[in-house]
Amino acid sequence: MADLRRLGKKGSYRLGSLAGGRLGGAPSPRSPRRLGQLGRAPHGPTLGPPRAQVQFGWWLAVVVAGVVVIAVTAEFGLWFVPFLAGLVIGLAAPRAGWRLRHTVPAVLVMAAAGWGAPLLWQAVRGAPAGATARVVAALAGLPPHAMIGVVFTLLIAALQAGVGLWLGHAVIGGSRSR
């Protein structure tokens, strides 16, 4: 019966205090109060594996490299490269400790910019990219406007990259859980 009176009271579960203390409520040696630091208390133990923090410089470098590879290969007519880029990122991301919330935007931006750069380059050179986009939109059953054709093309690239990312992540995630 004494245990019922202790429910909800500080120290009753021997899990430490909310300020990041050790068992029994004693402050840890890395406590912000002991080190003279201001801010949040250290986090408690987690059940998952430790994750690396994605540096913005690395994220940007991977995106730019992917954009260049996709753009160059799109000029040569290799339309499936966004899928391969997504697959490579999906296979490499869990090993590098990258989370999906960082890799999904990277892959989508990479694919859209990688296919958008050659389309823009063709339009700047004077190629009939607008007329081609109108025909593609009409053949796809969409209203025959150049902007709709371009957006539809970029969405297809993003869809390919997303499916590649999903497949790569599923293959690596499935093999780790066994």
* Domains of the chain by residue range: 2-35, 56-176
- Looking at residue 55, its pLDDT comes to 74
- Looking at residue 35, its pLDDT comes to 47
More confident residue, 63 or 176: 63
Q: Positive or negative CA dihedral for 141, 142, 145, 151?
A: negative
- Which residues 6+ apart lie within 8 Å of 69 measured at CB? 81, 85, 114
- Looking at residue 91, its pLDDT comes to 92
Would you say residue 126 has pLDDT above 70? Answer: yes
Calculate mean pLDDT across residues 93-97: 83
Tens of pLDDT along 128-139? 888 888 898 899
Tens of pLDDT along 11-55? 666 554 454 444 444 555 555 444 445 555 556 666 666 555 657
22-33 burial, b at 16+ Cβ within 10 Å, e below that, comes to eeeeebbeebbe
- Looking at residue 107, its pLDDT comes to 95
